Chain A
Amino acid sequence: MPSRPSARPAVLLASAALLAVAIALSLAVGARPLTLPEVWSGLVDPQAAAFTVVREMRLPRTLLGLAVGAALGLAGGVMQALTRNPLADPGLLGINAGASAAVVSAIAFLGVGSLDGYVWFAFAGAAAVAVGVWAVGGGRSATPGRLALAGAAVNAVLFAYVSAVQLIDSASLEMMRFWTVGSLAAASPSSAARIAPFIAVGLILVAALARPLNALALGDDAARALGARPAAVRVLSIVAITLLCGAATAACGPIVFVGLMVPHLVRPLTGPDLRWLLACSALLAPLILLSADVLGRVLARPGEVQVGIVTAVAGGAFFVYAVRRTRAVAA
């Protein structure tokens, strides 16, 4: 895809501007709509009428959306580069489902009830599935289609497991049926802060990996000649994906397709250079997640449609489109 390198800073700036708009909307739209001046006074003035709504509910939710969106977009970008697979997505390949199966087990069998407790289970589940799908799907000889299929199989198995657990333990069904669809609504003032350290580490790892992953795209031998160590890059990439997906899933449940869509949308604008691709993804993914969240709040007033459902429907349609357009999917 041709792209002028001079256009990249403009793309980055435009993404940032759009993201700012989405943040403003996310603060203003909801069961009780606010004007922008009201939002501002709600942010800064503890006496304002909107203070509780903005500071206690919408700000935490927006911050969580930013963190989770950036995590999913970066994880998707790294996965697509690592597997050379345009269909790679943390949700589609079962990694978010792995995290959620581990969390559901922790809730049902170990009585773990807080984000601090189950974030570690989410990491364990995400890591296990990341390695498992990679191995089952054919390792380095995996084709895009085989990997997607391995992911679908793992997803189906984990889905059966999660519904079995919900059935056996009906008390946890009440708690989990909201969590397992993927939602930002349960954000507490501290939930973004709790997962932020993990996402920050993932972010730093991804920033450090962008250049070696670029080299890896040329093949292992060329990468070695350029000074990259392919095995180390792969291991660190999986660590980064696990941290990002595990933290995101622990905070708001499994969200699919954000990681798939964003790199596809960005690539025509920035070209294949991962440094730009990932930087723009980190801005555009939260933009999409926040927009989906705002849309979910508008669609079913005064209730809401969970963000994971909006992204599943929109992203599923995008996936079907990508499959029909992409040539290189057949095994």
Chain B
Amino acid sequence: MTVLRTSEHSLRLRPRALLAGLAILIVAAICGLLLLSTGDYPMSPSAALRAVTGSGTPADAYIVQELRAPRVVTALLAGAALALAGAVFQALVRNPLGSPDVLGFTQGSATGALIAIVVAGGGSVAVAGGALAGGAVTGAVIYLLAVRHGSHGFRLVLVGIGVAAILTGVNGYLLTRAEITDASRAVLWLTGSLDGRGWDDALPLLAALVLTAPAVLFGCSRGLRMLELGDDAATAAGVAVGRLRLALLAAAVLLCAFAAAAAGPVAFVALTAPQVARRLTGDPGPNLLPSLLTGAALMAAADLAAQRLVPGRDLPVGVLTGVLGGAYLIWLLAAGRRRMA
């Protein structure tokens, strides 16, 4: 481990973590480039790069800048936001299963979006707004039910499971109330899809990520590491535990809700990315930045596979992450059992 020091700050650099981060970045870049250059109108990777910078042919420039780039950017940003939120949740509840999928935030966003689709009949802006509001309200409810009364860790997860079950029921009801065209639109949204995403979807997410990610990465990283040692130890080390927990929860809920607003509640990215990052870096800590990068790469890779896996059929990205993440989740539980035995 190398430590860089100035008079005020010190930065610990672990060669393996740096290498892992670099490798993840390269994977994300390759997936992004493939997404930009392949499709119904294939072009060479260098032509795609020229189109990004604006020096290519007008046709290439239109396809890349207006059609493909927003989708790639939305994928990378949504993956990054979900993964960062997942890493924060997992550190907060000290459990690898503490993800927004399990805790009910995803279902809350879905409820908001479904209300927008089914009851209000709104367009994409209303759906995004509904998802945001639903996620935020669910976050507040879970905070009031569990966190504020000193229930964190396992009990928070179980309260989340209960809330998720209630919301799943509500979502099912909303689906049965919908016209069939609205219903299939709603199911597509519920699965999580990047199809037809434009700059309008990418930019709010970018703003949310730019506003919250640095605060979480640099402002709370140390406190989160302390929190993993237990509340008492963290308090002794000078961390304002209650305030930190509230701030982190709010940031994570916000990130999830914005990601859901842009791409729908893509399943399991928040759950798997921090776990993959942890195994790559070999660092047991919160791994916030590596998780963020892994999430972006994971989402780009999943979208690439979803678009190209079945020829002529553009699967929603959520189907792929759902199946892969689900298999991984069950493996995680089974492996945890072997460790316990």
Contact = CB atoms under 8 A, between A and B. Distances in A.
A187 interface: no
Contacts of A160: 191, 267-268, 318-319, 322-323, 325-326
Interface in B289-341: 316, 318-319, 322-323, 325-327, 329-330, 333-334, 337, 340-341
Contact of A170 (B162, B165, B184): B184
Interface stretch (A19-27, A141-149, A223-231, A276-284): A141-149
B166 A181 contact: no
A150 interface: yes
A319 to B, nearest CB: 4
Contacts of B102: 149, 152-153, 156
A317 B333 contact: no
B175 interface: yes
Given A156-B267, A160-B267, A329-B155, A136 B333 contact: yes
Contacts of B187: 163, 166-167, 173, 177
A48 B173 CA distance: 35
Nearest to A316: B166
Interface residues of A, number: 53
A87 interface: yes
Contacts of B190: 163
A256 B168 CA distance: 11
Given A316-B165, A331-B154, A136 B330 contact: yes
A308 B175 CA distance: 13
Interface in A132-166: 132, 135-139, 141, 145, 148-150, 152-154, 156-157, 159-161, 163-164, 166
A92 to B, nearest CB: 7
Given A160-B326, A174-B180, A323-B155, A306 B191 contact: no
Contacts of B184: 167, 170, 173
A32 interface: no
A153 B162 contact: no
A15 interface: no
A148 B164 CA distance: 13
Contacts of A256: 165, 169
A4 interface: no
B267 A177 contact: no
Interface in B115-148: 145-146
Interface in B162-194: 162-166, 168-170, 172-173, 175-176, 180, 183-184, 187-188, 190-191
A208 interface: no
A43 interface: no
Contacts of B169: 181, 256, 308-309, 311-313, 316
Interface residues of B, number: 50
Given A317-B162, A320-B162, A178 B168 contact: no
A177 B183 contact: yes
Given A178-B176, A309-B173, A320-B162, A145 B154 contact: yes
Contacts of B341: 138, 141
A153 B331 CA distance: 11
Interface in A168-185: 170, 173-174, 177-178, 180-182
Contacts of A313: 166, 169-170
A136 B183 CA distance: 34
Contacts of A311: 169
Interface in B100-120: 101-102
- Main SS class of interface, B: helix
Contacts of B164: 152
Contacts of B162: 316-317, 319-320, 323
Nearest to A320: B162
Given A149-B97, A160-B318, A313-B166, A181 B155 contact: no
B157 interface: yes
A165 to B, nearest CB: 10
Contacts of B204: none
B91 to A, nearest CB: 17
A152 to B, nearest CB: 5
A18 B185 CA distance: 43
A177 B163 CA distance: 21
A153 B97 CA distance: 8
Q: Which of B162, B164, B166, B173 has the most CB of A within 10 A?
A: B162
B244 interface: no
Given A181-B173, A316-B166, A320-B145, A164 B159 contact: no
B151 interface: yes
A24 B333 CA distance: 46
Contacts of A317: 162, 166
Contact of B323 (A137, A164, A182, A315): A164
A244 interface: no
B168 A319 contact: no
A173 B188 CA distance: 11
Contacts of A148: 158, 161
Contacts of B183: 173-174, 177
A167 B193 CA distance: 11
B318 A330 contact: no
7 contacts: A148-B158, A153-B330, A156-B101, A159-B168, A160-B326, A256-B169, A313-B166
Interface of B: 97, 101-102, 145-146, 149, 151, 153-155, 157-159, 161-166, 168-170, 172-173, 175-176, 180, 183-184, 187-188, 190-191, 267-268, 316, 318-319, 322-323, 325-327, 329-330, 333-334, 337, 340-341
Given A92-B165, A145-B158, A323-B159, 15 more contacts: A156-B102, A156-B326, A156-B329, A157-B327, A157-B329, A160-B323, A163-B187, A164-B319, A164-B322, A256-B169, A309-B170, A309-B172, A312-B172, A320-B162, A323-B158
Rank and list the top 3 A-B pairs by shortest CB-CB distance, nearest first.
Answer: A312-B169, A160-B322, A157-B326
